[in-house]
Structures are given as structure tokens and as C-alpha cells.
Amino acid sequence: MASAPSTTAPTLAPTLRTPVSSGPRRAPLPAALRLSRAQPGPAGCRAAPGRLARPRARVRCGAAARFIGQDEFPAEVLESELPVLVDFVADWCGPCRLIAPVVDWASEEYNGRLKIVKIDHDANPQLIEEYKVFGLPTLILFKNGQEVPA
């Protein structure tokens, strides 16, 4: 005799554990992975004050891509003869850290043809509001002082 088909379908998804589930306690994280207060970076690189950050996981400043502020924005971006790619970033932004190596590569690869600058989201609220930066990272291309439409 054939058995009746089961009414529950088997799942292939792994079981999820909640943070309060009973299970063995894990060993503490190594010191290099523990969160600490953000420290000021090298010249030109700013850390968000009072933020928690992993020590080695910061938005880096490449040789050609550098941080600028609201005061430098008109001269560096709007009056530039080269096209300018503006990267709006923050130290606490995970996706910003993920694309930072690509932005640094592009700044070196296209040196002399494209200028790349980074703007710290937390330190420049006026620029964030003016260019309607609602999510991070945001990349905006400027040519002849005008934002290039998408």
C-alpha cells in the first residue's frame, strides 16, 4: 500500500537562531574586531565624532580622491575644468566602505581626466540638503559646474 502524501512540504531553509536562543556562548571577539570610538584619521580624512567604528574599516582617502567641505565645494567642483565625481559618504555607512576601493581606483585610473572628491555626510548638511542626498553612498557627476542628469 502506498502511504498518503505528507501535507507539510520539506523546507531547505536553515533554521534561524535568535539572539536569546539557548545555545553555547561564543568566545569574545578579538580586540581588532571590537567596536571603539572613531578616532580622527590622517589629514584630509575625517571621522564622525562620537560614532562607533571598527578600527580598520573606515572610508579611505586615496591619493587623488580627497575629502572637501562646504567651503571648498564651489572652487573644487563647480569651477573645475575637469568633470568631477562627488562621492557623498560617512564612516558609519557600510556600503560606503564597500565602494571606497573602487572610487579610489577610479581616482587613480582617471587622474587628469576626472576629478573625484568625497564629502562627509555628517559634516556638510547644507550640501546634503541642496543636492537631495537621501541615501548613502551617493555619487553625483558634475560637468562645467552643472550636475549631469541621470
Q: Are strands 138-143 and 84-89 parallel, antiparallel or unpaired?
A: antiparallel
Among 68, 90, 96, 103, which one carries the catalytic annotation? Answer: 96
Residue 61: active-site member: no
Give the residue from 72, 76, 59 showing the smallest Cα distance to 116.
76
DSSP structure string for 84-122 = EEEEEE-TT-HHHHHHHHHHHHHHHHTTTT-EEEEEETT
Catalytic, out of 38, 93, 106, 127: 93
Q: Please provide the distance, in angstroms rounded to a whole number, between the alpha carbons at the two ends of the chain.
A: 66
Q: How many residues does the chain have?
A: 150
Q: How far apart are CA 140 and CA 60, in angstroms?
A: 19
State the Cα–Cα distance between residues 4 and 17, nearest whole angstrom.
33
Q: Is 45 a catalytic residue?
A: no
Q: Supply the residues annotated as catalytic.
A: 93, 96
